[in-house]
Structure 1
Amino acid sequence: MGRSRERNDRLDPVRLRPPGRGALLRLAAVAILLATAAGLIWFRPAAAPCTAPAVPATTTKAATSAAPKTGGRPSIPDGAVGVPVRLADPTALALVHPGNRVDLLRLDAEGDGTPIASAALVLEVTGADDPATGGLLLALDPEQAGRAVTRQGHGFAILIRPA
């Protein structure tokens, strides 16, 4: 039999050709971009700490004098703990500011409120612009905090105390 002249019919070993000039340039560009990205990630500066918003001017001195301030918001008083709560009616978040005092009530199925805390200090209001995700951070004594987090209910309501 004669030798086949077509390349597909031959059993010669495959020989790789060196990459062309265009392929080498593309590979070099990709390597440089990857090295630059890795260097930027490795040497980026540490993120600056978040700053708390300042207490609004409408908050009176009497409302905030019970706790010292750190960074523009009241700090947790001695003997208290910070407890986050979500309100059953989150639109009330627009009425409350750090430093206000509130009475905290747990709502049951009938809509009745069981007192949990009296004159609790509002440390922070989150999500006042988006009530669906907002809540309050309150300073409660350990007994009140235990009542707030262990009992089941249909959310919380607050009564804002006058300043």
Structure 2
Amino acid sequence: MPRATTAPSDERLDPVRWRRPGRGTLLRLASVAVLLLTAAAVLWIEPTGCAPLSATPQVATSAVSPSASASGVGRPAGAIPPGSVGVPVRLADPTALTVVRPGNRVDLLRLDNDRDRSVPVASGALVLEVTGADDPVTGGLLLALQPDEASRAISGSGRGFAIVIRPS
């Protein structure tokens, strides 16, 4: 019986030679390099148009007559009157945010947890800002309160606050 012979293998032992990349590969590599450099530059460069987060906010002030400043008229929006402090307040019924405006005067009442009654906290508080009037769940009021009223507002617990809008 004749012995089967094997054909020579197609495997080669030549060294692997490097080929120059084509134009498409070079274009892709160049675009990836440009995008990476742009991303690194954006992360590295500090913006100059924004104030740092640690800076305290500056309240704009203007020269206003004493009678106008006592009533809150003529004061820039969000400016806290002298002798007052700004206190953020969430209301128990956030739909009230749709009817109150900055510059209104309100009476602030705390709703008790254990009883169905309200406890007066502040009288004639100036509304500085209304936040989230379009989304009552996240909204609230920024009120200018006297220091003793502010301490009553932040101390104690309750179901929330209610307001009574005073006529202007």
- Determine if the TM-score, normalized by the shorter chain, exceeds 0.5: yes
* Count of residue pairs brought into register by the alignment: 142
The verdict on how the C-alpha distance between 1:106 and 1:67 changes in structure 2, with shifts beyond 3 A counting, is same
The verdict on how the C-alpha distance between 1:24 and 1:79 changes in structure 2, with shifts beyond 3 A counting, is same
C-alpha contact (below 8 Å) 1:122/1:138 kept by paired residues = yes
TM-score (norm 1): 0.72
C-alpha contact (below 8 Å) 1:76/1:139 kept by paired residues = yes
C-alpha contact (below 8 Å) 2:69/2:75 kept by paired residues = no
How large is the Cα RMSD of the aligned pairs? 3.1
1:144 aligns with 2:146: no
Q: Which residue identity is paired with 1:97? A: R
CA distance, structure 2, for counterparts of residue 85 and residue 67 of structure 1: 22
| Structure 1 unaligned spans of 5+ | 49-61
C-alpha contact (below 8 Å) 2:85/2:150 kept by paired residues = yes
Helix, strand or coil: the match of 2:123?
strand
Q: Which residue identity is paired with 2:71? A: S
CA distance, structure 2, for counterparts of residue 134 and residue 161 of structure 1: 21
Q: Which residue identity is paired with 1:17? A: W
Q: 1:59 corresponds to which residue?
A: none
C-alpha contact (below 8 Å) 2:110/2:119 kept by paired residues = yes
Query: What does 1:145-160 correspond to in 2, within 5 Å?
Result: 145-160=150-165
1:12-45, Cα deviation, whole Å (9 max, x unpaired): 8x95835622322211011123334555664866
Q: 1:26 corresponds to which residue?
A: 28
Q: 1:111 corresponds to which residue?
A: 116
Q: Which residue identity is paired with 2:75? A: K
Deviation at residue 79 of structure 1 after TM alignment: 1.0
CA distance, structure 1, for counterparts of residue 125 and residue 110 of structure 2: 14
| Structure 2 unaligned spans of 5+ | 1-7, 52-67
Helix, strand or coil: the match of 2:120?
strand
Structure number, greater radius of gyration: 2
Q: Percent identity?
A: 57
Query: What does 1:7-156 correspond to in 2, within 5 Å?
Result: 17=18, 20-21=21-22, 22-39=24-41, 42=45, 46=49, 65-66=71-72, 68-70=74-76, 73-109=77-113, 110-156=115-161
Helix, strand or coil: the match of 1:69?
coil
Helix, strand or coil: the match of 1:26?
helix
The verdict on how the C-alpha distance between 1:28 and 1:152 changes in structure 2, with shifts beyond 3 A counting, is same
Deviation at residue 130 of structure 1 after TM alignment: 1.1
C-alpha contact (below 8 Å) 1:63/1:99 kept by paired residues = no
CA distance, structure 2, for counterparts of residue 65 and residue 26 of structure 1: 67
CA distance, structure 2, for counterparts of residue 85 and residue 112 of structure 1: 19
C-alpha contact (below 8 Å) 1:64/1:74 kept by paired residues = no
